[in-house]
Chain A
Amino acid sequence: MGFDTAYEAINEGEDPGHRWAYGTGFTDPLAGVDTTLPSGVDGADLAAYCLMLGDDALIMSHRLQQWLARAPELEEETALANIALDLLGQARLLLSRAGAADGSGRTEDDFAFGRSEREFRSVRLAEVTDADFAGLIARLVAFSTWRLALLDRLRSSRDPVLAAVAAQGVRELTYHRDYAAQWLVRLGDGTDYSRERMVAGLAAAAPLVPELFEPVEVELRLAGAGVAVDPSTVRAEFDGVLATVLDGAGLQWPDVPGLAPVSGQAGRDGVHTEAMGYLLAELQSIARSMPGAVW
């Protein structure tokens, strides 16, 4: 069976409507996957952990999507769209895993569109806006380097679903990190102007980096059970990669203090920056104004 164009294939048959990938009503990405909890793993803890990793991907993906039609070149537009799509795919699997693990049966849409800001568990680095392309690149280098190190270790998680999502994600994040790192070198080692912008981008992202390595209780409990990764253990790998990239760019990691938690709470506790409310207002606007709508 072959077709000359994708449109012929899409419109083949009597009911081609299901072939158009838009709207709602997407199939559960874990359809047919065994989501039984491994012995000794607490379902509520696993769900909380999957929401952390899933929310990181969902929120970062949304920020990347906001770059579409604003990127400096068509190739960068395509790259950012691909990275956003990979992260959205990871988010869908992880949010679905959370709903299966906690026994609530909540779907990816319930989690993405039905929670309030305080219920999102993403790190604050994922949600902040970018002043310019260099700002995005600084944030993407930090985010993808950190997430790649985490997922690489999660390939051996005792939860087989989490391990499978991680194994797939590692190959995607390898591309994301290379892309962002190559741009960091190009901008840092480019003109005086591009260097100035890259330095400013790093200075904006750096205060949000210490939070990435602060474990919360659930992570430590699950790390002890062989399910999760204590994020403090990936700091050395992160620093090593950043040192290589910065060396190529002829830049230094900025010596700035971390953004302080609020009353000891940060993204993992549901305490976000001002940017998060605006982001969710956009992400959830259709679902909130027309609950249950399909199109």
Chain B
Amino acid sequence: MSLQYIGKRLFYLVVTAFVVSMIVFGITQILPANAAVMMLGEYATPDALAAVEERLGLNRPVAVQYLDWVWGILQGDMGNSLRTDLPVGPVVFEALGRSLILAGFALLSVIVIAIPLGVFAALNRGKKGDLFASFFSYVGISMPEFVLATLLLVVLSRPEIGLFPASGYVPLSEDFFKGLWHIALPVITLAIILTAHVMRMVRSEMIDTLQSEFVIAAKMRGLSKYTVLVHHALRNSLLPTITVLALDVGYLIGGIIVVEEIFAFPGVGRLLIVAVQERDLTMLQAGALVMSVTYSLVNLFADMAYAYLDRRIQYD
């Protein structure tokens, strides 16, 4: 992996971030009502509207408004909320931090459950264990997060069982175990769905690798089953899995939006839903941009990890 490759990828990341910012800004610009109408309501007097438009700079050409917005972001200012008039940047990043805790736990459980499960299914291909695991993964990829989350709530949080709280948030730094108890249901929901996606990938990669010539050769050299499995097959199956895992972060982000809304978790997903409901444009733009850039960064790291682990690939 050369420095040029890293440089090129970083350049692409910047280009992507710019295009995303154009899309996000463009979509919110074609809204039927502009920000001034949204702030003051539809019965505002023309004078009051003109005054707010003047203050927010809405009477300038769209291109100028866009450049102004981007220039602000480059200086660390994402604008003020149309609802509270406070800067949205700190609010979005604080919420992002909490969302990343959810995402981190969900990804961790995937590594602990999905990869072993995929290997197990591949080794028992066509047998009962594999059929059961495949059935589970089909159900998992066909179940929207809101259905699974609501069903889990119905079963595990009903008053007579009350295993987990139905909503709320306690910072992990304040009370670690109480915090864990509160994020349990959101994390379980995300983990089940992500496991279903990743397990399928690991299984099919593992089946392909187990049939490849170098694994057969390793077996014929008389290496132990364990050595062949872990050092030859698994290592090579995990490489494509890294890429898929990074792409699955896209689902994970969508899932986080839904799960945070259902469990009233104060993350960036819930912030977005509230912004949509309150028509808070600045908040929506900032949240969407931060989420998309996070996703691009994850993909960049995944590609770097892939390039680092697989020395056969020459990137230039």
Do A and B assemble together?
no
Which residues of A does B touch, CB under 8 Å?
none
Residues of B within 8 A of A (CB): none
